[in-house]
Chain A
């Protein structure tokens, strides 16, 4: 079955002979976009976070065949080593990673999360439901779906706050 995935702006037609292929494995094994990581394959760690049609999801938890025609952004679409996005630069400055394995997922999650805050989506930590502010606790709560076993959390919070400050609340 042919499925068209538009990944980082480029349409890819995938002949998926096997409907069991997850979106994560399609990206990693069929499109060779291995920036998106597999930590658990169970929706429990966030390493596989990508943005689909503007929303962050765990790509291990969804089948590729369900995304025909969807717009997908992966870490490769955020910035390249020679041309890093502000959030990526902030992760380097604040040492928001050690082994780096959770990092693409953290950055994808943070990218979408900042947009969620900008659009006024509340979280468990939001006091005034109408106007979430990007406090440290908001960042912590909203980033708690992305596990980092190297445990860089305080540096990740610093990096996100810094990047958001520099760009007026958006990641790009």
Chain B
């Protein structure tokens, strides 16, 4: 075949988009509830995840993990282990890492397996002919330690918190506002350590060929993951290829290169054969990342009319020494609600616990439910309906910076949601509605998640037969990337979606921001749109018209009264567009966020303390919705994540050594099918945000989670007449208050 005719288009997002190009296209596939193109593979078990399709001769690795909390590994019964059946190598290599990289690090995390920072840290790797042999040998490991666990800091109450100046802010005089307010609340809430618990355990298969490393792993951000891995190994990033075609859930736990990737690469190099490492579920709990526990103090005050005059939000979180990430709990607090007096505090403790990292909606997932539950307390104190109270306090512009909102649909979401849910039927007096043993209550919450863009590149190839290929290193972790990128290319090129093939999850492809922070679809989608637009430009030339005057539909090109088949226009040529979107000034001048509101009905058993979520309803605005089906599923997933957060999920750290006492899926409770009622979701399909990106689409993967727990806990307060300020709201806590 001939060489492609190449054309590139780069766009920096400095100014708001005025073209609204996708609305002007003719194919009509963007935003439709198209089925996922990879669906047939996933439902038939033929989609290939990390620990599958092993190359011939693959050996298996299993990590030896520290049995102390702090100290040094001084020796290991290596000879004994090497003599065990099937064992090929016992590896302690200084390139091994302490904990996975944080999202977007693009450099190796802390290295060196000999210094122990938390119990369960991988300290050696055993590789054997079979999985069973590797596991058996690793469990026979007897490390020697210089044990300094007595100096480890396990409990948040035992640490001095850092107070980074850049993370504190203050406006006006909150203390004074609190004193002078008609109504005020000053409350403390806490949320526990949590675990992502993606269904696919972290896994990697590594092999070297001609000095180049290939790792098939389960990762979310391949461009930075390749850099992290290369840096850890001390080789050029050009020598590293990472493949993650299908990722069995991530939720942030696979943002950075992990033990399995680095370990498999080192072992495969040493043994000169492919090595596979799949973390066991308990290793996933203890040796990847957790969401930090938080303690939060919220101060809110308002005047006699329920207009807020002040907000204080302080958060205490933790991480390992040296980690730059800390759960950005207060991220949405500066801009969500009105009030001229503000104080934001962010304090970081250094604990000898499994490292903390990003978990679905880092920040808002735990921050918004707490501020929102406190809002509910203030509304109650002021004697104002919670819906009305929130509507009264939506600011005109970001009150902390004065910047205008790029778009703010919070009020719309609240009003529409209240109507859909039947909010007017809410029990007016807390604890007043009873059905036998069950206490019934309604609750609601505002839902807020900041919107971001990330630099991304994609390539779109239009082939002589009028089919197209979309390529980028973007990943689909269940989010719908395969669907939406296919739809965007099909829309721009006027092709039925089945004539577009989307190939993702290969770090050799043009670099995208990857999946994280709800940026993926908007960022990589914009790059696909730009790449396809470049191709449109070439087609327009051939049709002798301006690009604006070119209509592409059902595989034909139309200009004026001329209509030609694409194959005819292409005349055997291949057109290849490369599109790049870059962050720009648009985000600096306007406050961007996705918005929503959620409503919940609970029934609380006065006998067992059990909480049943009977109804859960959400309305969301996230700019252009790229696929109504996958977007709805993302919202559903977020809301159910929120049920877990409100009612079930909590990592119990052993107070003596910090280890996870519930490091499996039987004891760490995520929602199961019967925990979940029918879920009602409305997406505001007319929403557009011109400041976000050329597609005017915003993030939706994390949004729905950022409020659910408040809707539930507020409903529990309405049902029982009691406020619960320690998550999750388990039976014991309920019974204690119900007496």
Contact = CB atoms under 8 A, between A and B. Distances in A.
Interface string A40-57: 111011010000000000
A18 B281 contact: no
A21 interface: yes
Given A38-B51, A147-B665, 5 more contacts: A41-B281, A80-B44, A97-B478, A99-B249, A151-B640
A45 B665 contact: yes
The residue among A102, A136, A147 with the most chain B CB atoms within 10 A of its own CB is A147
Contact of B44 (A18, A79, A141): A79
Contacts of A81: 40-41, 44, 46
A103 B40 contact: no
Given A25-B131, A76-B45, A147-B670, A153 B633 contact: no
Nearest to A40: B281
A98 B479 contact: yes
B472 to A, nearest CB: 19
Interface stretch (B61-69, B197-205, B297-305, B555-563): B197-205
Q: Which 10 A-B pairs have the closest CB atoms?
A: A35-B45, A101-B248, A98-B478, A99-B478, A100-B42, A151-B640, A75-B45, A92-B39, A81-B40, A34-B52
A71 B281 CA distance: 29
Contact of B201 (A39, A98, A99): A39
Contacts of B54: 29
Nearest to A82: B40
A12 interface: no
Interface size class of B (residues with CB under 8 A): 35 or more
Interface of A: 18, 20-21, 25, 28-29, 32-42, 44-45, 47, 74-76, 78-82, 84, 88-89, 91-93, 95, 97-104, 107, 136-137, 139-141, 143-157
Given A98-B633, A149-B197, A156 B673 contact: yes
B729 to A, nearest CB: 19
Interface of B: 35-36, 38-49, 51-54, 130-133, 136, 196-201, 246-251, 278, 280-281, 477-480, 629-630, 632-634, 636-637, 639-641, 664-666, 670-679
B635 to A, nearest CB: 10
Given A18-B133, A40-B281, A143-B673, A100 B633 contact: no
A140 B46 contact: no
A99 B44 contact: no
B676 A153 contact: yes
26 contacts: A18-B130, A18-B132, A21-B132, A29-B54, A34-B52, A39-B201, A42-B666, A44-B664, A44-B666, A47-B199, A78-B44, A88-B44, A100-B42, A101-B249, A103-B42, A104-B44, A139-B673, A144-B672, A150-B633, A150-B637, A151-B640, A151-B671, A151-B676, A153-B676, A155-B636, A156-B673
Contacts of A95: 35-36, 629-630, 632-633
B529 to A, nearest CB: 23
Contacts of A147: 199, 665, 670, 672
Contacts of B679: 154
Contacts of A91: 39, 43
A150 B39 contact: no
A150 B45 contact: no
Nearest to A154: B679
Contacts of B478: 97-100, 150
Contact of B249 (A82, A107, A139, A149): A149
Contacts of A21: 130, 132
A154 B636 CA distance: 8
A97 B40 CA distance: 11
A41 B279 CA distance: 11
B641 A151 contact: yes
Contacts of B639: 151
Contacts of B280: 41
Nearest to B203: A38
B45 A36 contact: yes
Given A18-B133, A42-B665, A44-B665, A101 B200 contact: yes
Contacts of A42: 281, 664-666
Given A93-B35, A144-B672, A150 B43 contact: no
A34 B48 contact: yes
Nearest to A79: B44
A107 to B, nearest CB: 6
Contact of A104 (B45, B246, B633): B45
A31 to B, nearest CB: 12
Contacts of B641: 151
Contact of A39 (B40, B199, B674): B199
Given A18-B132, A99-B199, A101-B200, A140 B281 contact: no
Nearest to B60: A29
Contact of B43 (A33, A92, A98): A92
Contacts of B131: 25, 29
B633 A152 contact: yes
Contacts of B49: 34, 37, 101
Given A147-B672, A156-B673, A98 B637 contact: yes
B304 to A, nearest CB: 42
A66 to B, nearest CB: 15
Nearest to A78: B44
Contact of B46 (A80, A99, A150, A155): A80
B278 A38 contact: yes
A149 B281 contact: no
Contact of A97 (B43, B200, B670): B43
Contacts of B199: 37, 39, 45, 47, 99, 101-102, 147-150
A39 B674 CA distance: 20
Contacts of B130: 18, 21
A102 B249 CA distance: 10
A75 B43 CA distance: 8
A158 to B, nearest CB: 9
Contact of A92 (B35, B48, B200, B678): B35
B670 A149 contact: yes
A84 B674 contact: no
A153 B671 contact: yes
Given A34-B52, A155-B636, A39 B665 contact: yes
Nearest to A151: B640
B664 A76 contact: no
Contacts of A36: 45
A21 B129 CA distance: 13
A20 B132 contact: yes
Contact of B251 (A28, A29, A146, A149): A149
A139 B674 CA distance: 8
Nearest to B58: A29
A154 B44 contact: no
A91 B671 CA distance: 20
B674 A137 contact: yes
A141 B53 contact: no
A41 B201 CA distance: 10
A157 B114 CA distance: 49
A35 B45 CA distance: 4
